[in-house]
A = this chain, B = another copy of it.
Amino acid sequence: MGDARHFHDLTTPFRMKRGGELHGARVAYETWGTLDAGRANAILILTGLSPSAHAASNAVDPTPGWWEDMIGPGRAFDTDRYFVICVNSLGSDKGSTSPASVDPATGEPYRLTFPELSLEDVANAAYEAVRDGLGIAQLACLVGCSMGGMSALAYMVLHPGSARTHISVDTAPQAQPFAIAIRSLQREAIRLDPNWREGHYGGDVWPDHGMSIARKLGVITYRSAMEWNGRFARIRLDADERDGNQPFGFEFQVESYLEGHARRFNRQFDPNAYLYLSRASDWFDVSEYGEGSIQRGLSRIAVERALVIGVSTDILFPLEQQETIAKGLEAAGADVEFVALDSPQGHDAFLVDIENYSRAIGGFLRSL
């Protein structure tokens, strides 16, 4: 299988919001569909914390992407009409420069010498790829999911006129204390793992235990109790599925489900990159651009139309926060469509409840 990623070299030095700068940094991105002559049909998708730029399969890389059923001819992101771009976040290790990358100044991986990362930096890096790499002056639509939704708000605040319309998916105008508490505990689990070694893991010494706890806690907050009542109830594992003679080992299906998620994640995502992106999510606060007011911060965003989607079962990015975004964009002059879904899958609904998300997003994009 091929590598469908393109790479865009960022301005050198690339100055970071909180100080520090990167030299020779780049971001990875993939595209689907064809950019029209006027360069006016581009959609940019900014991702959650862990996904790569491979949102969907394409000719070069036919493996399914993380939003496979949403992108393609006739799908919600209709590639017969739109040119779709997905950028791997700066700081993520899926092709973009991250704490796992080699610092050209030392020839060694950055690890914790990577400068403090904010979602504004993630947004600025994606903006450079779109403007300078692809020559697109204005996006037809900027889409942000989860953490990517916060990155998208930063993108639009920092680059007025960069997007004609916006789709906001299960995100937040600022991190609330419940989400901060969860992410802080995820970071702590990694930091307390003796194998983390203040970022100097490698080879066989890897903070697998910390990453496992972090991932499981993530999955618990990405889904919903309601979904699990129907899906797992109190079903036990068969004897041969249990973890041997481990004292206090797994016994219920829900425990095995979480273990499977952790195993698939471990060693697939750089622990230091996880820490940087997680902290960046805690730091984001659009009210910084509105003298402490979320609504004034959002008022700096000028898009013609917006679609704001949220899910009633999302405990990490609750529906009230989606309403806040919708109201702010509307007050700023956008024509806003607000969709509150009752999907049982919680925060992850946008990855699972393709029927409802397709209807909302496809309908919005067709109406443009």
From A251, which residue of chain B is reached at the shortest CB distance?
B282
Q: Is the CB of B220 within 8 A of A180?
A: no
Q: In the bound complex, how far is the Cα of B177 from the Cα of A255, in angstroms? A: 9
Q: Tell me, rounded to whole Å, the shortest Cβ–Cβ distance linking A254 to chain B.
A: 4
Q: In the bound complex, how far is the Cα of B254 from the Cα of A174, in angstroms? A: 15
Residues of A178-197 at the interface with B, using a CB-CB cut-off of 8 Å, are 178, 180-182, 184-185, 187-189, 191-192, 194
| Interface: A356 (CB within 8 A) | no
Copies per assembly:
2
| Interface: A115 (CB within 8 A) | no
Which of A128-136, A161-169, A227-235 participates in binding chain B? Answer: A227-235
Q: Which residues of B contact A234 (CB under 8 A)?
A: 174-177, 180, 285
| Interface: A242 (CB within 8 A) | no
Q: Is the CB of B248 within 8 A of A177?
A: no
Contact with B along A135-174 (1 / 0, CB 8 A): 0000000000000000000000000000000000000001
- How many chain A residues sit at the interface, stated as a range, is 35 or more
Q: Tell me, rounded to whole Å, the shortest Cβ–Cβ distance linking A295 to chain B.
A: 16
Q: Is the CB of B181 within 8 A of A258?
A: yes
Q: Is the CB of B178 within 8 A of A228?
A: yes
Q: Is the CB of A182 within 8 A of B220?
A: yes
Which of A32-40, A209-217, A331-339 participates in binding chain B? Answer: A209-217
Q: Tell me, rounded to whole Å, the shortest Cβ–Cβ distance linking A80 to chain B.
A: 42
Q: Residues of A with Cβ closer than 8 Å to B?
A: 112, 174-178, 180-182, 184-185, 187-189, 191-192, 194, 198-199, 209, 212-213, 216-217, 220, 224-225, 228-229, 231-234, 246-248, 250-255, 258, 275, 279, 282, 285, 315, 318
